[in-house]
Amino acid sequence: MSRNTKINLLLLLAVAALAVLPLALGLGDHKKEPFTGADGEAETAITEIEPDYKPWFSPLYEPPSGEIESALFSLQAALGSGVLAYYFGLRRGRRQGEQRARERDSESRAAGGAAEESTAEGA
């Protein structure tokens, strides 16, 4: 494995560790519902500060269940990673294509050069 790949893997590993550690160390244990969204906690905090506050507008569409919601979230992530993968795949393919074309070029030039030399000798 090249040094470059190793560094990239280490970066990914560090991100994974940062995500797993709070779970593994049980940092959510002091809460009634551990690892809820911060956005939701903010809503609770608002109603603590202003118990009378009523949201004056509701979402036009709400996913009917947690499953549908997580499906839509995965769709968002999948769309994004699809585009990213396409980008890097395309770049890699182009680079390889260019390199091969260069190799062929230099090979044929070498072969052409040799042919010219032999004709020169013949004359």
Partner 1 sequence: MHIAEGFLPPAHAVAWGVASAPFVLHGVRSLTREVREHPESTLLLGASGAFTFVLSALKLPSVTGSCSHPTGTGLGAILFRPPVMAVLGTITLLFQALLLAHGGLTTLGANIFSMAIVGPWAGYAVYRLLRRYGVPLMVAVFCAAFVADLSTYCVTSVQLALAFPDPGSGFLGALGKFGSIFAVTQIPLAVSEGLLTVLVMRLLVQSSKGELTRLGVFLAEKESRSETEAVAR
Q: Tell me which residues touch partner 1 (CB under 8 A).
A: 2-4, 7-8, 11-12, 14-15, 18-19, 21-23, 27-31, 34-39, 41-43, 45-46, 49-50, 53, 55-63, 69, 72-74, 76-77, 79-84, 87-88, 90-92, 95
CB 90 within 8 A of CB 98: no
Whole-angstrom Cα distance, residue 115 to residue 108? 10
CB of 97 to partner 1, least distance (A): 13
CB nearer to partner 1: give 87 or 108. 87
Q: How far is CA 77 from CA 17, 82, 86, in A?
A: 20, 8, 14
CB nearer to partner 1: give 72 or 115. 72
CB nearer to partner 1: give 42 or 123. 42
- Residue 93 sits at the vertex; the CA angle it makes with 96 and 76, to the nearest 5 degrees, is 155
- Close Cβ partners of 47 (under 8 Å, ≥ 6 residues apart): 53
CB of 116 to partner 1, least distance (A): 34
CB nearer to partner 1: give 50 or 121. 50
The pair of three-digit structure tokens given for residue 28, joined into one six-digit string: 């959510």
